Amino acid sequence: MESVQSVKQRFELIGNDPGFNRAIEKALQVAPTDISVLVTGESGVGKESIPKIIHSQSFRKHAKYIAVNCGAIPEGTIDSELFGHEKGAFTGATSTRSGYFEVADGGTIFLDEVGELPLPTQVRLLRVLENGEFLKVGSSGTQKTDVRIVAATNVKLFEAIEKGKFREDLYYRLSTVEIDLPPLRERKGDIHLLFRKFASDFAMKYKMPTLRLDDNAISMLTNYRWSGNIRQLRNIAEQISVLEKERNITATMLQHYLPDAGKNLPAVIGEKKKSDSEFANEREILYKVLFDMKNDLNDLKKLTNELMESGNSKDVREENPGLIKRIYGSQESSEQDYEEVIDNAYDFNQEESVAASSTSSSETNHFAEASAAVDRYDFAQEIVEEESLSLADKEIELIKKSLERHKGKRKAAADDLGISERTLYRKIKQYDL
């Protein structure tokens, strides 16, 4: 078996990226077997090189190698192309024709863009994979073939299976071994190497000096997203070779050939968009949270009013066990929280009775805390209407900003937020800030 380096030289493959090298290693490992291989990767990454490597290193290397682009053959004729047809099988079938599976007997067939195969053809292909048998179009006689199948696709086959466009059993037959080729944007160290190779090739082809990139141009080239991968890079190198008179290329010159090079943001790939029903479910959950919050606020108002009227926390606790449990859960787990609220409310009641004119900062905090609770509820309603961030996220964000503004001083931050220092301390512990 040849080494990875010798194979790359033989097939003119450029690059030293670990993911790229691993793909070649896997191809060399499976080559001596008859295992079916599925090559995956984005369009333009060079998937067609893997089946050539596999065929060249297999015991079938002296037999035929046929590459078929399944996406380029019309649906009405693809069965005839792959499996052949009998004379008179359909209009225009003036003679019997052998298909690729018959011609490549003993060799290798590369099915590029296998995800584009129509479902009836997928059934025929599955039969070949399972027992090596196929039927010509218009024939009732079964024929045998001994071919190795290597397939490739840039389609996410699991998504195609979910949509009923690709057979799950065929997928597992094809992907005994799966070889994934990384996109060019993940092979940053190889981008300039590839560009230099293409620039040298085109310099020889068009009989002109080779292009040279300055440091800024190399940086721009390396950080570009390359949605068309190696195919796009090759096209860019050819364009510049032909159109630019100057052989030393700057970033300014290069930018004219790279679409949106100045807006080179990370691409989001394969992101699943939410359906209307998923948005509706999220709104339902948020509405429920809001209604629960409103009920909790009303219960808390009732409890506080009773405490302020009676002035005795013990009597209030004995008379409202159900209400307290509904607000705070089990008394055992929430004793400290309950005591804190009772103490705050009771202290406020006592201080209020001294003199309205001598309102302390503590009283102001109590008023502000109650007001802030109502404000948070109103704000949460707006969030639901705008389908914005969760209440918890917004609360965490406000606490963090206030602490940063006051350099970690909790009392000042609590005053800024309109809550008590004790409540702020509990929030810090709750959100692990």
CA-based max dimension of the chain:
110
Can you tell me the distance from the alpha carbon of 307 to that of 316, in angstroms, rounded to the nearest whole number?
A: 6
Quote the pLDDT of residue 407. 82
Q: Which among 224, 263, 56, 50 is positioned nearest to 150, based on CA atoms?
A: 50
Could you tell me which residues are beta bridge partners of residue 248?
212
Quote the pLDDT of residue 333. 43
> For residues 157 and 115, is the Cβ–Cβ distance under 8 A?
yes
Can you tell me the distance from the alpha carbon of 420 to that of 368, in angstroms, rounded to the nearest whole number?
A: 9
Residue 132 φ/ψ region, left for φ over 0, alpha for ψ in the -120 to 50 degree band, beta for the rest? left
Q: Which residue has the tokens 């590369």?
A: 110
User: What does the pLDDT profile of the chain (433 residues) look like in tens digits?
Assistant: 689 999 999 999 999 999 999 999 999 999 999 999 999 999 999 999 999 999 999 999 999 999 999 999 998 899 999 999 999 888 888 899 999 999 999 999 999 999 999 999 999 999 999 999 999 999 888 999 999 999 999 999 999 999 999 999 999 999 999 999 999 999 999 999 999 999 999 999 999 999 999 999 999 999 999 999 999 999 999 999 999 999 999 999 999 999 877 554 444 444 455 555 555 666 667 766 676 777 777 776 676 666 656 655 556 566 666 666 655 554 444 444 445 544 554 454 454 444 444 444 444 454 455 455 545 555 545 544 444 445 677 778 888 888 888 888 888 888 877 788 878 778 887 777 7
> For residues 138 and 85, is the Cβ–Cβ distance under 8 A?
yes
Does the model's pTM come out above 0.95?
no
Domain residue extents for the chain = 4-182, 186-263, 279-388
Quote the pLDDT of residue 306. 65
Distance, first Cα to last Cα, the chain: 58
Can you tell me the distance from the alpha carbon of 153 to that of 51, in angstroms, rounded to the nearest whole number?
A: 12
* Cβ within 8 Å of residue 75, ≥6 positions away: 118
User: Amino acid letter at 336?
Assistant: Q
Start-end of H helices in 70-207: 78-83, 100-103, 119-131, 157-162, 168-174, 188-205
**Superfamily of segment(s) 4-182:** P-loop containing nucleotide triphosphate hydrolases (3.40.50.300)
CATH number of 186-263: 1.10.8.60
φ, ψ of residue 111 in degrees (nearest 5):
-100, 95
Q: Which among 120, 10, 108 is positioned nearest to 76, based on CA atoms?
A: 120
φ, ψ of residue 151 in degrees (nearest 5):
-115, 160
Can you tell me the distance from the alpha carbon of 384 to that of 84, in angstroms, rounded to the nearest whole number?
A: 61
Can you tell me the distance from the alpha carbon of 84 to that of 134, in angstroms, rounded to the nearest whole number?
A: 10
* Cβ within 8 Å of residue 216, ≥6 positions away: 250, 251
Can you tell me the distance from the alpha carbon of 9 to that of 318, in angstroms, rounded to the nearest whole number?
A: 86
